[in-house]
């Protein structure tokens, strides 16, 4: 039997999407993107090398990866409201401890707590919350959430820079801690439903979504999807950490490198809008393949060192923008909503661990072989991800063909 939850009311749905979307901006801006602005000031104030400062983010991602499966189980059992509300408290506590950090061990302890906050408050738990509430109907809502999330650096980098200039890095961290308590916590508690439905909606009649994969084909698909998301996350994390350094190593002046890097954000947003308008008419594995192709094309153009750096970064940004959507929609369609939150937690483990290791690997590659070697390795990983994507599409389509033959 299918139960239509009260939360499926359109007005309430918009409320939930807006709540999750706005708070994704705050969550990403005060965690993953925080050191992009604060790292130099922390390094100067504490006399730590910037590699030690950025090591805090690696600690957070390692902890987030380890916690992700348990978070998924909790959302499956209790829904997203208590988990997301707890993330606000964890974000606030970690940022307050960061602001007070007198030495490196306390600094890293703050980032370890931040890792728990990230595991319970970034995209994966937000997607899992929507999947738990709306089942297959959550696909378009997931895309909408990524549109909000794509604005995190656009909103928070200027805010962080202004706060830093006016009050310093410690006060900046405290302001973000306050925002999580004053805005995030009450919004989650008051605007999200207390309990998820016991039975989730089935796919809408006549939708472009194919049937879920049968159980005996899901294991291979899950491994393939996990590998695709992990390889993509490794490239994303390495490029995010070292893009300016890599471009300067190719002879691009710093100001020009910053301007070129700024193309990535708008490209992500544009690709997500296009997916919302066009992609909803197609199975999400095709969206995944388009994203992987754009992603790999951008990296290959950067490796080739052709005079099209802007085009390369636009393609890379568009592919990355689509991959954020794929992370939520493909497992929902292939494996169904019944265990969606649990599977999202499991998929988060290797991806977050890969993201934690990638900046360190990138630094070693740059030191060993410069930009050429680094882009060559990134190209290989991107092509591997694309190949895995093609394999997953084939695996899904072969099921459809067998399903059709059985129907005949």
Q: Delineate the domains of the chain, giving CATH numbers in brackets.
A: 7-191 (1.20.1250.20), 215-407 (1.20.1250.20)
The predicted-structure confidence for 161-188, as pLDDT tens digits, reads as follows 999 999 999 999 999 999 999 999 999 9
Q: What is the DSSP string of 342-388?
A: HHHHHHHHHHHHHHHHHHHHHHHHHHHHHHHHHHHHHHHHHHHHHHH
Say what the pLDDT of residue 5 is: 45
Share of the chain above pLDDT 70, in %: 91
C-alpha–C-alpha distance, residues 257 and 236, integer Å: 17
Q: Which residues make Cβ contacts (< 8 Å) with residue 384, sequence separation at least 6? A: 231
Say what the pLDDT of residue 403 is: 53
Summary mean pLDDT of the chain: 87
Say what the pLDDT of residue 208 is: 45
Higher pLDDT, 96 or 36: 96
pLDDT(299) > 60: yes
pLDDT(296) > 90: yes
Instruction: pLDDT band for 4, please (50, 70, 90 cuts).
Output: very low
Q: Which residue has the tokens 């991959």?
A: 323
Say what the pLDDT of residue 125 is: 94
The predicted-structure confidence for 306-318, as pLDDT tens digits, reads as follows 778 899 999 999 9
pTM of the model: 0.84
Say what the pLDDT of residue 44 is: 94
C-alpha–C-alpha distance, residues 304 and 245, integer Å: 17
Say what the pLDDT of residue 206 is: 43
C-alpha–C-alpha distance, residues 63 and 68, integer Å: 9
pLDDT(337) > 70: yes
Higher pLDDT, 168 or 137: 168
Q: Which ranges of 305-339 would DSSP assign to H, the alpha helix? A: 309-335
Q: What average pLDDT does range 230-249 have in this prediction?
A: 88
The predicted-structure confidence for 150-162, as pLDDT tens digits, reads as follows 888 778 888 999 9
Expressed in percent and rounded to 5, the helix, strand and coil fractions of the chain are 85, 0, 15
Share of the chain above pLDDT 90, in %: 50
Instruction: pLDDT band for 263, please (50, 70, 90 cuts).
Output: confident
Say what the pLDDT of residue 400 is: 56
Give the H or E element holding residue 53: helix 50-78
The predicted-structure confidence for 338-397, as pLDDT tens digits, reads as follows 889 899 999 999 999 999 888 888 888 988 898 899 999 999 999 999 999 999 999 888
115 contacts 64 by C-beta, under 8 angstroms: yes
Both tokens assigned to 42: 């922390």
Say what the pLDDT of residue 261 is: 80
Query: Per mean pLDDT, which range of 108-117, 207-216, 243-252, 272-281 is the poorest?
Result: 207-216
124 contacts 327 by C-beta, under 8 angstroms: yes
Q: Which residues make Cβ contacts (< 8 Å) with residue 401, sequence separation at least 6? A: none
The predicted-structure confidence for 87-135, as pLDDT tens digits, reads as follows 999 999 999 999 999 999 999 999 999 999 999 999 999 999 998 888 8
pLDDT(20) > 90: yes
The predicted-structure confidence for 49-58, as pLDDT tens digits, reads as follows 888 998 999 9
326 contacts 291 by C-beta, under 8 angstroms: yes
Instruction: pLDDT band for 225, please (50, 70, 90 cuts).
Output: very high
């Amino acid at each position: 039997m299918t139960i239509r939850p009260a939360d499926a009311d359109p007005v309430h749905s918009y409320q939930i999407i807006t709540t999750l979307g706005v708070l994704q901006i705050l969550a990403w801006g005060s965690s993953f993107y925080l050191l992009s602005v604060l790292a130099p000031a922390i390094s100067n104030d504490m006399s730590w090398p910037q590699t030690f400062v950025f090591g805090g983010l690696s600690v957070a991602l390692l902890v987030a990866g380890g916690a992700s499966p348990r978070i998924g189980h909790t959302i499956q059992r209790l829904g997203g409201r208590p988990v997301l509300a707890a993330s606000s408290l964890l974000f606030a506590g970690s940022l307050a401890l960061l602001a007070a950090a007198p030495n490196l061990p306390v600094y890293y302890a703050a980032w370890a707590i931040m890792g728990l906050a990230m595991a319970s408050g970034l995209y994966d738990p937000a997607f899992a919350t929507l999947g738990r509430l709306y089942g297959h109907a959550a696909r378009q809502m997931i895309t909408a959430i990524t549109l909000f999330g794509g604005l995190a650096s656009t909103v928070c980098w200027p805010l962080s820079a202004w706060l830093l200039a006016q009050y310093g890095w410690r006060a900046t961290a405290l302001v973000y801690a306050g925002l999580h308590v004053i805005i995030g916590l009450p919004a989650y508690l008051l605007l999200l439903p207390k309990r998820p439905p016991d039975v989730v909606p089935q796919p809408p009649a006549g939708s472009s979504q194919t049937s879920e994969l049968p159980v005996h084909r899901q294991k291979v698909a899950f491994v393939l999807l996990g590998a695709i998301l992990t390889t993509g996350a490794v490239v994303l994390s390495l490029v995010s950490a070292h893009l300016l350094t890599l471009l300067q190593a190719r002879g691009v002046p710093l100001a020009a490198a910053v301007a070129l890097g700024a193309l990535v954000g708008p490209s992500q947003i544009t690709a997500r809008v296009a997916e919302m308008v066009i992609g909803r008419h197609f199975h999400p594995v095709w969206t995944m393949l388009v994203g992987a192709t754009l992603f790999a094309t951008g990296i290959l153009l950067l490796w080739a060192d052709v005079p099209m750096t802007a085009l390369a970064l636009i393609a890379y940004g568009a592919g990355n923008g689509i991959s954020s959507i794929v992370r939520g929609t493909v497992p929902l369609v292939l494996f169904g909503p019944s265990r969606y939150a649990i599977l999202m937690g499991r998929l988060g483990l290797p991806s977050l661990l890969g993201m934690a290791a990638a900046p360190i690997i990138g630094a070693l590659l740059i030191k060993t072989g410069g930009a050429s070697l680094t882009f060559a390795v990134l190209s290989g990983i991107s092509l591997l991800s694309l190949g895995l994507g093609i394999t997953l599409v084939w695996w899904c389509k072969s099921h459809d063909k067998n399903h059709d033959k059985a129907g005949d």
